[in-house]
Chain A
Amino acid sequence: MEINKKAYEAYVKEVTPVHKRWPSIFRAFLVGGIICTLGQLCTSLFINGGFEKEVASAWTTLILIASSVILTGLNIYPKIVKFGGAGALVPITGFANSVVAPAVEFKSEGQIFGIGCKIFTIAGPVILYGILSSWILGVIAYVLMAFGIL
């Protein structure tokens, strides 16, 4: 074919429709904001109920995760993400969704090779590189503290 691969790539980019940027950002902001407001509401209610701040945060996290798990099971969370994009993926509810979805999907392949092996297929990289980067930052902080800079 006379058209080369590079020219084809550029041409394809031209004819492929993409999501509009600003509406997407607005929806992400809206959905992310609602999730965080609900989280804050939980925390405030727990604190008003006499819980310590840390205990209140822990309960809030649990509630958010549980809600996401239930909404995933009911096939509602994917619809929220479809609308809100990163606004629904970045909060802890999105993380919970990424763990539960494979667990549900691969249940048919058994407890070990199905759920056991595949539960972290999406969340695995986040966990691995999350731990790795906090370890690196820990080493940096340790070195800086040893030299009295921090």
Chain B
Amino acid sequence: MRKTLSFGFLASLVALVVCVLAGTGPALAQEAAGFGPAPVLTAADYPTVAGVNGRLVIWIVAQLHLWFAAFVLAVPIFVFIIEAIGMRTRDKRYDDMAYEFIKVSITAYSITAILGGLLLFSLILFYPHLFGYLSTIFSKSMFYYALLFFGESAVLYLYYYGWHWLQGDLRKWIHLSLGLLLNAIGTTLMLLANAWLTFMMSPAGVDPAGVFNGNEWEAIHNFLWNPINIHRFVANIAYGGSIVGAYAAFKFLTARTSQEKAHYDWMGYNANFIAICALLPLPFAGYYLAAEIYAYSQQMGITLMGGIFAWLFIIQAVLIGALFLSANYYLWCGMGRSDGARRYYWAIKYIAIVLIGAFLVWFTPHTLVLTNSELKSLGGPHHSILGPLGIMPAKNTAVNLMIIFTFLSFLIYRRSNKVATVSWEGMGNTLQVALFTAGILNILFLGIYHGYFTNTVYKVAASIPQVLTTFVVIVVSLVLDSFIYRGARDVGPLHWGRIPDRAQYALFLLAVAFTWLMGLMGYIRSGIRQHWHVVDIMRDNSPNAFTPTLGYAANVVSVAAVIFLTLVIFVFWIAKVSSVKTLPAGYWKE
């Protein structure tokens, strides 16, 4: 473990030195001369290094860096929450779980730093002018970014290695504060890096020729900065949860004792719970981001939602569907932990029917792929039944139903081990049914009536009351249930570890689908810039300026995902090796 420590420090040191040399060097030179316009490049300005495709290298390295960074930033967030829960409940299991989470992320942290350094080197090597231009604008923030990395490393190592040292009343509080500081620094790091990439999408603080006005805050606080910040923050938590869930699932599968199995089952459940909690609001953060992209530039918005990228959203729909389905399946399987679950089994097939039905609507494309004979039989590519399912009101309705029914799965999971003792239980249940029925009917009404029978203007506007309905149903239902089950009796002890192995594969699917989905969406976020380094200001004139096809992008993402998973397995393996001791009999002199 000590090796990891020095490795991590070394990596961040390298990153820092490189940042200072490469990032701020040209910046200082520029400041003396005033800011020039964005460079106009020709194909000759992009060096070929060792015959590799520069864009591909940057693409894969940046994606790997992002995956690890998302994981490394997310874990401290929920470790902090779990530690706080442990302090409140004085249940040591929470503290142990939090420690195990952070242990998993510590090697990942140094890999993040190494990949960051690699990304920086690749940028300087393959896109020197772009990097030079960006570093003149973001000179200060790049410098502070490098310094913050030192702070992040120091606090992280103190937090991790001091875990057992800082136990007990006051010391535990100090430790928790360290966790908060760690999150503050980590989030700041993410915000800074987000500013650089959103500047490339929605430049601010520069004139149309790219001459910087010297106000770096304006460049950081560009139009898309906050929408990306929110989206990434929420997605990171969901992602971190899913990766830790996969870790727990693997430990569960390889556990030898029933005690171990119970522990990792519990850990997997909690990780999945975190992932689902963050997953539910994610579609709305995504809508917000897309709406802001539209508001910033209509042209960019239409490139995003129409044209070639329209098909990407079909792939996205399939992946999000896979996320929802595997999360639900895991919950259903988990009901077996309770002896009282059988009471609710009848409901599962109806939930499944709605989920699958909504999912089919969710991914029905607007433009159908038709063979010639089908075209002939339909008389044209417009399908009178499926066509209307391809547009936004149908999708919004479907995704809201999927969220409500996923929540319903969670609700029956929570109920499965409890027997209410309040006298008005029957009425409470009636209220719950009425609430869900009213909510679902309202969503359907909004979607169908406003989506198809009124003016186009309402089509999009109806999605907001739909989301609000979903939100109200979830909150009111949770509150109501907490009253119904106040002082409720347990059916019996929960049998942690009593869950089929298949359920663990649902956790793997969740992690893999999440990883892949992030890669895919990274492609489109970057891809809507089209042939621009910095939109409308600095043109990409390299031979790689073209937008690749979806299949090509999917293959790159797949290759990167396999590399990522290999590294993750290495990280998990290292975490395991560190606690293994071999006793070499007769090796050392007594």
Partners in one complex: no
